[in-house]
Amino acid sequence: MRKILRYFFIPSEENYHRAKLLHSDSLSFYLLFAIILVFIVKLSPLSNILGYATDITTQKLYQLTNEKRLQNNLPLLIYNEQLSKAAEQKANDMFDKNYWSHYSPSGTSPWKFLDSQEYKYEYAGENLAKNFLFSNNVLDAWMASSTHKENILRKEFTEVGFARVDGLLDGQQTTLVVQFFGKPAVRNLLTLGENTIAPLPQKTISKAKKIIDFSKISFNITVFLILFISIALISDLYIASKLRLIRIHGKNLAHLIFLITMLTGLYFFLSKGVIL
């Protein structure tokens, strides 16, 4: 095992004084692997592709929202289909009229969408998010904002609905998340207790399970590969400078700067979502 690790990470005679992981054939393997991955994702009918790569699902958002309430000793929210339909309408309205706001340019309030679904409420609330890659990042951002957190943890709310819709906003591919909270004025779920969670419709669950999340797989592969190659570059650089080896190849330090920049870029992509 040590011999294998040495061969792959430490420059020695066996690997022609360059860590095997940094040889041209290894680098061409990484590139080939990336090309194959792109083709698999492009051709796969099971991927979540449509120009919008995100693993956000209403199921996960619902689960995370209730986890936050549970952590704060609050009653769990009941999933409401009318609220979800209103949320979907709101997201589509934002795409159709090209705006990113609680109120439309013509002054339409979010509550109009609840009315159109004939959802009679005593209390209602709305959280918005756009361009997040993972569901937990959406919840983290909402919880970091006092007003959004207030909605999530408001004890008056008893029901919740979500929509995640992809489209073009300002000419950019955008993923919008709309979360509607409500407390119905007339209780129509009398059979359910205050703390009972209504299960998500089966259709939504099976749809979410069918999707292969290539963006998450690729994210994990990218982070792993960056760390893997960085370790090889650092060990190769250290040993080569210690042994004063003179070799003709790319500069390890330059590669390291490039990889660190890519990792930072990846972080910016992940945390770049906006909430409202």
Could you list the residues that contact other proteins (CB under 8 A)?
Answer: 22, 24, 27-28, 30-31, 33-35, 37-38, 41-42, 47, 49, 51, 53, 130-131, 133, 170, 172-174, 214-215, 218-219, 221-222, 225-226, 229, 248-251, 253-255, 257-262, 264-266, 268-269, 272-274
Nearer to other proteins, 35 or 243 (CB): 35
Quote the least distance from Cβ 215 to other proteins, whole Å.
5
Nearest to 168 by CA among 20, 5, 32, 52: 52
User: Nearest approach, Cβ of 131 to other proteins (angstroms)?
Assistant: 5
C-beta of 77 vs 94, nearer to other proteins: 94
Q: How far is CA 68 from CA 137, 151, 219, 222, 262, in A?
A: 13, 11, 26, 30, 32
The dihedral built from the CA positions of residue 33, 37, 43 and 45, taken in this order, carries a sign that is positive
The minimum distance between CB 175 and other proteins, in angstroms, equals 9
The position carrying tokens 């760390």 is: 227
Is the distance from CB of 141 to CB of 189 less than 8 angstroms? no
Q: How far apart are CB 176 and other proteins at their closest, in Å? A: 11
Residue 160 or 232: which CB sits closer to other proteins? 232
- Would you say 35 or 189 has its CB closer to other proteins? 35
What is the nearest approach in angstroms of other proteins to the Cβ of residue 73? 35
Residues in Cβ contact with 27 at an 8 Å cutoff, skipping those fewer than 6 apart? none
The DSSP line for 160-213 is EEEEEEEEEETTEEEEEEEEEEEEESS---TTS-TTPPPPPPHHHHHHHHH-B-
State which residue, 10 or 53, has the beta carbon closest to other proteins.
53
Nearest to 271 by CA among 170, 140, 171, 151: 140
Whose Cβ is closer to other proteins: residue 118's or residue 170's?
170
Give the three-class secondary structure for 107: coil
Closest approach of other proteins to the CB of residue 209, in Å: 21
